Amino acid sequence: MFIDTDSFADIILNIKTCSLPPSANLNTSQFLLIYNLLQLRNQYYQLQELSAKPRIADMTSAAASLLGRQLKEIQKARDLPGISCGLVKDNIFEWEVMLMLSDECKYYGGGNWRCLLSFPEDYPHAPPKLTFCDPIPFHPNIYPKTGVLCISILHPSGHDEYGYEDASERWTPIQTPETILLSVVSLMNDPNDSSPANVEAARLWREAQANPKGKEMREWKSRCRALVRQSLGEE
Please give the positions annotated as active site.
150
What b/e sequence results for 127-146 when a residue is b if at least 16 CB atoms lie within 10 Å of its CB, and e otherwise?
Answer: bbebbbeebbbbbbbbbbee
Q: Starting at the edge strand that comes first in sequence, how are the strands of the sheet with 129-132 ordered? A: 83-88, 91-100, 112-118, 129-132
Q: Note the Cα 76 to chain centre separation in Å.
A: 26
Q: Cis before residue 124, ω within 30 degrees of 0? A: yes
DSSP output for 23-59: PTTS-HHHHHHHHHHHHHHHHHHHHHHHHHHHHHHHH
Map residue 199 onto helix, strand or coil: helix
Closest by Cα among 36, 32, 24, 2 to 10? 24
Task: Report helix, strand or coil for 168.
Answer: helix
Q: Cα separations (Å) of 62 from 24, 53, 121, 126, 217?
A: 56, 14, 9, 13, 48
